[in-house]
Amino acid sequence: MARRFVEHVRRQQPWLSKLCDQLLEPLVETLRNGAADMTALAEAFPRDTIMHLLGLYPGDRDLVSMLVADIFPTSGPLPGQDRAGAAAMRMLIDYLQGEVVRRRRAPGDDLMSELVRAHTDCPEALPHDELISVLTGLIVAGYPQIAAGIETGVVLMMRHPDRAVFLDDPVGARLFVDEVLRYDAPVQFTPAPRIPTKAVVLSGVTIPAGAQVWPVLGAANRDPGVFSQPDEFRPGRDGSRHLSFGGGAHYCLGAELVYLEMSMLLRRLRHRLPDLAPAQPPCQRFGRLRGFTSVPVIRGER
């Protein structure tokens, strides 16, 4: 499945490049006359990308944005947010169930149609529940989490102009993106806890059987036992691998899409707006999803 996904993404690179330029143009125009908020672009690019890859109707953008906003609220935990998030997830699953039915009736050349065909050809290898889970995960991970990574990347570009030079070539851009993902992981902790079936002693602490253990990816990515000077933003650091994409059997299916989108957009920003600077301090989001609720920018000398 991972190979199928990567191949489909690579075939869509010309379309992604065109979309990137189309979305960037209004920002460039707005900045001719004053300030702009980068979050609109950061959210539109991954949202429109994943909807195109899955063959979703462009008119459903507002619906998808609304559901994702409820699943990942911009504020910290507030009363009722868990219920709203669960309801939004159910609505998203129902929406995708309907899209799968439509692909069975009239398949296209989009990624969802490919996955539906794979399920039809071999339901044992890709059961229906897993198909829906994969599609849901692609939207939940392939839209808000990439948006958060782009927002953080823009802030770090402006904060560290000497290190933004990594974006001047494709190899360096990937190193820059990799360090953005390590330095401030878009997802700070896993979506579900780990529950030991028997008591475990970890670093001298006893974790009883049945306890809920929430791995904090953001903390693991700052582990001084793994990364030298972990609190420093340093693209091109040693080869220690961060955990922002998970690992093993649970390694993120869309990792290549994350690198592609973030590298493409950050490189275009660097080329088109080399004098991009903060208009006001950015407002960071807190909770499981990081990123920023606002990134006001202007053009001008640093």
Residue-wise pLDDT tens digits, 261-298:
999 999 999 999 999 999 999 999 887 788 999 999 99
With b for 16 or more beta-carbon neighbours within 10 A and e for fewer, the 190-227 pattern comes to beeeeeeeeeeeeeeeebeeeeeeeeebbebbbeeeeb
Flag the least confident range among 48-52, 174-178, 194-198, 249-253: 249-253
Residue-wise pLDDT tens digits, 154-186:
999 999 999 999 999 999 999 999 999 999 999
Mean pLDDT of the chain: 91
pLDDT band at 77 (very low <50, low <70, confident <90, very high): low
DSSP per-residue codes, 53-89: HHT--GGGHHHHHHHHHHHS-SSS--TTHHHHHHHHH
Overall CATH class of domain 2-190+198-299: mainly alpha
With b for 16 or more beta-carbon neighbours within 10 A and e for fewer, the 160-186 pattern comes to beebbebbeeeebbbbbbbbbbbbbbb
User: Cα-flanking dihedrals φ and ψ of residue 278, to 5°?
Assistant: -65, 135
Flag the least confident range among 94-98, 143-147, 237-241: 237-241
Higher pLDDT among residues 251 and 86, named by residue: 86
Two structure tokens written together for 26: 């209004």
Q: Which helix (H) or strand (E) holds 302?
A: none
The mean pLDDT of 64-74, rounded to a whole number, is: 85
With b for 16 or more beta-carbon neighbours within 10 A and e for fewer, the 248-285 pattern comes to eeeebbbbbbbbbbbbbbbbbbbeebeebebbeebeeb
Q: How far is CA 196 from the centre of its chain?
A: 29
For the chain, the domains span 2-190+198-299
CA distance 139 to 46: 9
Residue-wise pLDDT tens digits, 115-124:
999 898 888 8
List, as own/partner pairs, every contact residues 23-28 make where C-beta atoms lie below 8 angstroms and the sequence separation is at least 24, other chains included.
23/48, 24/265, 24/268, 24/269, 24/272, 27/273, 28/272, 28/273
Residue-wise pLDDT tens digits, 198-220:
999 988 999 999 999 988 999 99
- Cβ-in-10-Å burial (0-12, 13-18, 19+) of 33 comes to exposed
**How many CB atoms are located within 10 Å of the residue 56 CB?**
22
> Across the chain, which distance is largest between two alpha carbons, in Å?
62
Count the residues in the chain: 302
Flag the least confident range among 29-43, 84-98, 245-259: 245-259
Q: Among all chains, which residue has been given the structure tokens 């507030």?
A: 78
For residue 302, what pLDDT is reported?
A: 46
What are the helix (H) ranges across the chain? Answer: 2-11, 13-31, 39-54, 61-71, 81-105, 111-121, 128-140, 146-159, 170-183, 217-220, 255-272
